[in-house]
Amino acid sequence: MDLDSMQRILEQSLADNKPIWQIALEEDMANRMVTREASMEKMRRTWRAMVDSADSYSGERRSLSGLVGGDGERMRLYYANHESIGGSFTAEVMASALAMGENNACMKRIVAAPTAGSCGVMPAVLIPLWRKEGIPEEMMLQALYVTCAIGSVIATRASISGAAGGCQAEVGAASAMAAGALTYLHGGTGEQICHAVAISLKNLLGLVCDPVAGLVEVPCVKRNVIGAMNAIAAADMALAGVESRIPVDEVIDAMGDVGRRLPVEFRETALGGLAATPTGKAVKERMQKNRKRRRTLTIKDMRWKLTTAPARETKE
Amino acid sequence: MIDIFDILGPVMVGPSSSHTAGAVRIGAMGRTLLGGTPVKARLHLHGSFADTGVGHGTDKALIAGLLGMKPDDLEIPNSFAHAEQQGLEFTFDEVDLKNAHPNTVAMELTASDGHTLSLQACSIGGGRIRVTMLDGVAVSFTGAYNTLIIHNKDDRGSIADVTTTLSRARVNIAYMSLSRSARGGNAIMIIETDEKIPPVVLQFLKEFAGIIHLTYYEKEDE
Ligand code: SF4
């Protein structure tokens, strides 16, 4: 089945008495024409790449622009030495989100989840929970399949790209995926997973994409923190029996609608929001200084000929 | 149909799937189509690749790809030093290409035996890429499939020769496109296949009279 509706996935899951993760797994087997083992193996590699990335964090690194680095470590030092307001688990979640966002900005290996800019949200909630509760790896893989089902539905009905739908489509989608995984890991039903997705996405609806100087640094790294914390809140609410009054697919459609109507300034162009603040613009100018003057490329320059016939595509 | 590992993945070196991972793949595509590491590369950055390329490491990523690195190679940030060691000379400049996708690069590559290749490609999101121009001919393919690129004389029979051979070898064609510079002149045939094409089949295809040049890009292994 196409992973294009949470409601349909849920109905299928109830009808066949099959958990959501298994529906996503079977979809992958059919789509990529691979065995169950091969699919699971790839998921295991993905999970381990996440864990490796989290463990390889160093607070010493700085991004190419110099704007980002060290905050994950700052957060860990803080909660090691002080009673943090939200307790040490949430402090570790925040530190993990910052650390992964910084890994990305500093050209370290990460897992796009669903994008590079939002790569910190899922590992920030999943890895600390996995360690704290000693959850078996197999179950973490199942949770990741749940996130794939959620992400596929969002990508199909709305978008998972900041350029197309704003940050609600990146950090928002990541948060919804994480919320679904958390709900699953704590024994939530399929319905509860859907409510967690709906609630988390609603909370970040309208979030714009406004990266300073066009770089995946400010505000991206810290937005991973709100994505992670929002996922915990949504999962806990769903597990408590709180329900989204707007059904999940309608929420996703609304996100897509808001994204399409967002002015282009708020879709990764770095022309609005934080990117357009005096400080944001100053950073951009600093980054531009070393650039060479642009020229218009002529055909002669490239030793290329123009073609008369455009490429035709035919399907066999 | 969406690949769930495009949702959760790719495993890549940051900071941007389009500006970093996609750029590595474009470089790697250029290297494959050239047939090895170039000794000279002129790279022209367009649009957002020019505007934010340095901050995203797009330049380093493109060179890393030309050297054969994968998008998750931790040496990507050090690719310039590797290029020096491996004797790859490169230049970057910024250009305005009309009507091109914002994340586009045009590359002129020279191989160690002196032959050249020009290529224009864009990064279309999530690390996926599309080649749009090859040696002056407009094309369109992504590298998501095994891809056969055939420069052939534009006469009757060439296409049938190729498709028949592939079907005999039980290689299923997913997409196929034809472009040509002028009627009766040279054409480029792009064939994207589900299965890998065995070396003997490639060798066999090269022997056909109408075929001038053949390159084969095998999709990245999982
Ligand atoms: S602000 Fe834009 S670039 Fe940054 S994480 Fe959000 S969507 Fe991605």
In a domain, A284, yes or no: yes
> Do B116 and B40 sit in the same domain of this protein?
yes
Q: Tell whether A48 is within 8 A of chain B (Cβ).
A: no
> Do B205 and B99 sit in the same domain of this protein?
no
> Do B129 and B41 sit in the same domain of this protein?
yes
In a domain, B7, yes or no: no
A271-291 per-residue burial string, b: 16 or more CB within 10 A, e: under 16: ebbebbeeebeebbeebeeee
In a domain, A312, yes or no: no
ipTM: 0.91
From A50-64, A96-110, B166-180, the region with the lowest mean pLDDT: B166-180
Residue A313's pLDDT band (boundaries 50, 70, 90)?
Answer: very low
Q: Which residues, given as ranges, of chain B have pLDDT below 50? A: none
Of A112, A144, A287, the CB nearest to B55: A287
In a domain, A308, yes or no: no
Q: Considering B86, B107, B134, which residue would you say is the last residue of a domain?
A: B134
Range 22-41 of B in CB contact (< 8 A) with A: none
Q: What are the residues whose beta carbons fall under 8 Å from the beta carbon of A72, sequence distance 6 or more? A: A57, A59, A95, A96, A98, A99, A100, A102
In a domain, A150, yes or no: yes
Whether residues B57 and A155 touch (CB distance < 8 A) is answered with no
- Predicted confidence at residue B154, as pLDDT, reads 75
Please give the share of chain A, as a percent, with pLDDT higher than 70. Answer: 91
- Predicted confidence at residue B151, as pLDDT, reads 86
Residue A163 pLDDT more than 80? Answer: yes
- Predicted confidence at residue B184, as pLDDT, reads 58
Q: Considering B99, B134, B169, which residue would you say is the last residue of a domain?
A: B134
- Residue spans of alpha helices (H) in chain B: 4-7, 22-34, 48-56, 58-66, 79-85, 158-168, 199-206
In a domain, A316, yes or no: no
- Answer for the pair A151, A160: CB distance below 8 angstroms, yes or no: yes
Task: Give me the number of domains chain A comprises.
Answer: 1
Q: Which residue owns the Cα nearest ligand 1 atom 7? A: A167
In a domain, A309, yes or no: no
Whether residues A292 and B94 touch (CB distance < 8 A) is answered with yes
Tell me the per-residue pLDDT of A278-309, one tens digit each, with 9 for 90 and over: 999 999 998 887 665 556 555 445 544 333 33
pTM of the model: 0.90
Residue B93 belongs to domain with CATH number: 3.30.1330.90
Tell me the per-residue pLDDT of A217-227, one tens digit each, with 9 for 90 and over: 999 999 999 99
> Do B53 and B81 sit in the same domain of this protein?
yes
> Do B73 and B178 sit in the same domain of this protein?
no
Q: Residue A163 has which token pair?
A: 């350029």
Helix (H, G, I), strand (E, B) or coil at A140: helix
Shortest-distance atom of ligand 1 to CA A224: 5
Residue A248 pLDDT more than 50? Answer: yes
Q: Tell whether B136 is within 8 A of chain A (Cβ).
A: yes
> Do B19 and B94 sit in the same domain of this protein?
yes
Q: Which residue owns the Cα nearest ligand 1 atom 1? A: A209
Q: Residue A39 has which token pair?
A: 């699919």
Q: Considering B134, B167, B199, which residue would you say is the last residue of a domain?
A: B134
Helix (H, G, I), strand (E, B) or coil at A236: helix
Please give the share of chain A, as a percent, with pLDDT higher than 90. Answer: 88
Of B1, B94, B179, the CB nearest to A311: B179
> Do B26 and B88 sit in the same domain of this protein?
yes
> Which chain A residue has the Cα nearest residue B96?
A296
Min Cα–Cα distance to chain B from A296, Å: 5
Range of the domain at B28: 12-134
d(CA A61, CA A100): 12
Whether residues B2 and A156 touch (CB distance < 8 A) is answered with yes
In a domain, B139, yes or no: no
Of B13, B50, B174, the CB nearest to A107: B13
d(CA B142, CA A221): 30
In a domain, A310, yes or no: no
Whether residues B13 and A307 touch (CB distance < 8 A) is answered with no
In a domain, A206, yes or no: yes
Q: Which residue has the higher pLDDT, A311 or B153?
A: B153
Average pLDDT, chain A: 92
- Alpha carbon of B17 to ligand 1 centroid (Å): 12
> Do B184 and B80 sit in the same domain of this protein?
no
- Alpha carbon of B195 to ligand 1 centroid (Å): 37
- Which helix (H) or strand (E) is A111 found in, with range? strand A109-111
Residue B213 belongs to domain with CATH number: 3.30.70.260
- Answer for the pair B151, B178: CB distance below 8 angstroms, yes or no: no
> Do B27 and B128 sit in the same domain of this protein?
yes
Range 115-174 of A in CB contact (< 8 A) with B: 115-117, 119, 144-145, 147-149, 151-152, 155-156, 160-161, 163
Task: Give me the number of domains chain B comprises.
Answer: 2
Q: Which residue owns the Cα nearest ligand 1 atom 8? A: A117
> Do B21 and B127 sit in the same domain of this protein?
yes
Residue A258 pLDDT more than 70? Answer: yes
- CA A35: distance to chain centroid? 27
Q: What are the residues whose beta carbons fall under 8 Å from the beta carbon of B114, sequence distance 6 or more? A: none
> Do B22 and B67 sit in the same domain of this protein?
yes
Whether residues B16 and A302 touch (CB distance < 8 A) is answered with no
Q: Residue B161 has which token pair?
A: 């020769």
Q: Tell whether B20 is within 8 A of chain A (Cβ).
A: yes
Min Cα–Cα distance to chain B from A19, Å: 17
In a domain, B222, yes or no: no
d(CA A96, CA A182): 16
Range 138-177 of B in CB contact (< 8 A) with A: 138-140, 163, 173-177
Instruction: Name the residue of A118, A265, A266 whose CB sits within 8 Å of the most ligand 1 atoms, as the mutation to test its pocket.
Output: A118
- Answer for the pair A108, B14: CB distance below 8 angstroms, yes or no: yes
Ligand 1 pocket, residues with Cβ under 6 angstroms: A 115, 117-118, 162, 167, 170-171, 209-211, 216, 219-220, 223, 268
> Do B93 and B153 sit in the same domain of this protein?
no
Range of the domain at A275: 6-302
Residue A212 pLDDT more than 60? Answer: yes
